[in-house]
């Protein structure tokens, strides 16, 4: 792994851990919002119909959506998170169909809706976890990191069979399995640390594995947009890592599922 990539990862990890440990809720929500807005800016840059004023309008709409999402009654939070998951289900369908895609994907309104449905529910999921459930927020991040690292290490050493070559030629079936196992182990360790046993422990391990699988969908869906735009990275903001969207594509897919389910397991 290139030295620049490692150094950037260490700095980012340190900043995230410091924010989780010392940051107030307002700081967390503000940082999450800034990251979401930057990711939306980069994602819009991958969409032919979202240039110029439409790009700025998208950011304004997303900002208003984040404020409105946090003001939602608790009973509506699950609906918002489910809407995010519905987009990722559609995203998986698009990935599997690529390069044959429906005409509507090039329409500006559809492209804007995709970005909003991906980012707003993910922000809400992380915001809810940040509000009094910091250990679960850390677990959510750790699961995605473990899945990403496991997939990279196992795929690089043992990868033979391509997972989805038409969208992301570098990903392998072996890497996917490595990522799932890595996330499952994190779920097991976290469950034991939280004092879970029996069915609840098994359920948390299963959830961790499911979140890892969904995180791959997020990665592949972003790769689809990058491939259509003819670029390798969403931007060059982070040395060795590309753009903000490149770093959070897996997280924004996994976060709604985790936030929808994990608190129920821990409270149960």
CB 190 within 8 A of CB 142: yes
State residue 7's pLDDT score. Answer: 87
Instruction: Write the pLDDT tens digit of every residue in 136-151.
Output: 999 999 999 999 999 9
Low-confidence residues of the chain, pLDDT below 70?
Answer: 1-2, 268
How far apart, in whole angstroms, are the C-alpha atoms of residue 2 and residue 133? 35
Q: Which residues, including other chains, have CB under 8 Å from residue 65's CB and lie 6 or more apart?
A: 116, 120
State residue 4's pLDDT score. Answer: 82
Q: Which residues, including other chains, have CB under 8 Å from residue 60's CB and lie 6 or more apart?
A: none
State residue 2's pLDDT score. Answer: 66
The domain of 108 spans 3-267
Instruction: Write the pLDDT tens digit of every residue in 23-57.
Output: 999 999 999 999 999 999 999 999 999 999 999 99
State residue 174's pLDDT score. Answer: 97
How far apart, in whole angstroms, are the C-alpha atoms of residue 99 and residue 227? 10
Residue 163's H or E segment, with its range, is strand 162-164
CB 257 within 8 A of CB 136: no
Distance (Å) of CA 10 to CA 98, 125, 155, 241: 35, 25, 22, 12
State residue 211's pLDDT score. Answer: 97
Q: 109-131: buried (b, 16+ CB within 10 Å) or exposed (e) per residue?
A: eebbebbbbbbbbbbbbbbbbbe
Burial of 241 (0-12, 13-18, 19+ CB in 10 A): middle
In the block, residue with structure tokens 């976890």: 129
How far apart, in whole angstroms, are the C-alpha atoms of residue 9 and residue 3? 10
Phi, psi of 164 (to 5 degrees): -150, 70
Residue 253's H or E segment, with its range, is helix 244-267
Burial of 22 (0-12, 13-18, 19+ CB in 10 A): exposed
State residue 95's pLDDT score. Answer: 96
The total number of structural domains in the chain stands at 1
């Amino acid at each position: 792994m290139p030295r620049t990539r490692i150094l950037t990862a260490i700095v980012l990890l340190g900043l995230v851990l410091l924010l989780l440990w010392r940051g107030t809720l307002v700081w967390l929500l503000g940082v999450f919002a800034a990251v979401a807005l930057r990711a939306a800016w980069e994602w819009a840059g991958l969409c032919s119909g979202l240039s110029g004023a439409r790009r700025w309008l998208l950011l304004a709409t997303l900002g208003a959506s984040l404020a409105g999402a946090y003001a939602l009654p608790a009973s509506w939070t699950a609906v918002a998170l489910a809407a995010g998951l519905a987009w990722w289900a559609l995203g998986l369908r698009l990935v599997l169909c690529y390069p044959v895609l429906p005409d509507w994907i090039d329409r500006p309104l559809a492209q804007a809706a995709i970005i909003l449905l991906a980012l707003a529910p993910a922000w809400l999921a992380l915001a809810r976890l940040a509000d009094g459930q910091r250990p679960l927020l850390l677990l959510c991040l750790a699961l995605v990191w473990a899945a990403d690292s496991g997939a990279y290490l196992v795929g690089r050493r043992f990868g033979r069979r391509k997972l989805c070559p038409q969208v992301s030629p570098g990903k392998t079936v072996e890497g996917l399995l490595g990522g799932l196992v890595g996330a499952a182990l994190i779920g097991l360790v976290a469950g034991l640390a939280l004092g879970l046993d029996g069915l609840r422990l098994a359920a948390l391990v299963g959830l961790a594995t499911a979140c890892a699988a969904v995180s791959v969908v997020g990665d592949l869906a972003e790769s689809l947009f990058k491939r259509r735009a003819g670029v390798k990275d969403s931007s060059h903001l982070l040395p060795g890592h590309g753009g903000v969207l490149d770093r959070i594509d897996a997280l924004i897919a996994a976060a709604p599922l985790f936030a929808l389910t994990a608190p129920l397991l821990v409270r149960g």
